[in-house]
Structure 1
Amino acid sequence: MRFLAAYKNSPEAKAALELAVEHARKYNAQLYVTTSQEGGEKEKSENVARIKQELNDIKKRLEQADIDFDVFEIVRGLSPGEDLVRFADENHIDHIFVGIEKKSRAQKIILGSTAQYIILKASCPVTTTK
């Protein structure tokens, strides 16, 4: 089995990662921890450096977790939701874990909702955490 944890530095995403690690251990699944950046001029260099450090920290932690894993940073110019759904399809992911943050209706209209996109478009089951 292959699981995907959609990661960003938020308490909700960290909860999703923890749940994904538990499930990967229980079901002897490979875990893909994946973050998505739109890239280009929209991404500030300090954000890119911070994300790389966070992913390195996750790698160190997962090495101790006794599971098979890979960590990916995707930069394709797509929205994070599109990137993660495409990644899941390309890698034959069986289950996606994603954290959901409470947003106002205005925030959803302006910013969109990565979790909502994943839930609606993914071709596999999606588990959400708060």
Structure 2
Amino acid sequence: MAIVVGYIPTKEGRAALNWAAQECLLRKTSLIVINSQRGGGSFDADEALRFEEELKRIASELEEAGVSSEVRQLVRGVEPSEDLVAVAQEEKAEVIVIGLRRRTPVGKLILGSNAQRILLDASCPVVAVKAED
């Protein structure tokens, strides 16, 4: 069993990753870091290289911290929520960890579509982590 975390290089993504890594150390389990991109024309080679370098850095930091981990960059033409839920089911994850950004009062009426899909579709618990201001 493992913990699955959705990661994008934002303060919310880093907060989710940090929480998940600490939880893995407490539970003595492994971490699967997922960076999911829809792909297509808006995802160019430079952006892919930047993400790849970021994910290598993360893998190195997790190893140094003693967290058993696997980092996956998925570009499969599906929504990130679908990738996270699918990986969590395949790996029989204990929990999925996602980062949430703060929203305006109007934005609070509608949760982000990826976060909402993960909450509704996941067969395991989902932890939503907010970044500090």
TM-score (norm 2): 0.87
Following the alignment from structure 2 to structure 1, what is the Cα–Cα distance between the partners of residues 79 and 42?
A: 12
- Tell me, yes or no, if structure 1 residue 124 matches structure 2 residue 127: no
Which residue number corresponds to residue 70 of structure 2? 70
2:36 alignment partner, SS class: strand
Following the alignment from structure 1 to structure 2, what is the Cα–Cα distance between the partners of residues 118 and 103?
A: 18
Structure 1 stretches of 4+ with a deviation exceeding 4 A read: 103-106
TM-aligned CA deviation for residue 36 of structure 1: 0.2
Task: Give the alignment of 1:33-48 within 5 angstroms.
Answer: 33-48=33-48
TM-score (norm 1): 0.89
For residues 68-92 of structure 1, what are the alpha-carbon distances to aligned partners after superposition, in whole Å with 9 as ceiling and x for unaligned? 1100011110011111111111221
Following the alignment from structure 1 to structure 2, what is the Cα–Cα distance between the partners of residues 120 and 42?
A: 27
Runs (5+) with no aligned partner, structure 2: none
2:41 alignment partner, SS class: helix
TM-align CA RMSD: 1.7
The alignment of Structure 1 onto Structure 2 pairs a total of residues equal to 127
Amino acid at match of 1:24: C
Amino acid at match of 2:2: R
Runs (5+) with no aligned partner, structure 1: none
Amino acid at match of 1:60: S
Following the alignment from structure 2 to structure 1, what is the Cα–Cα distance between the partners of residues 44 and 36?
A: 14
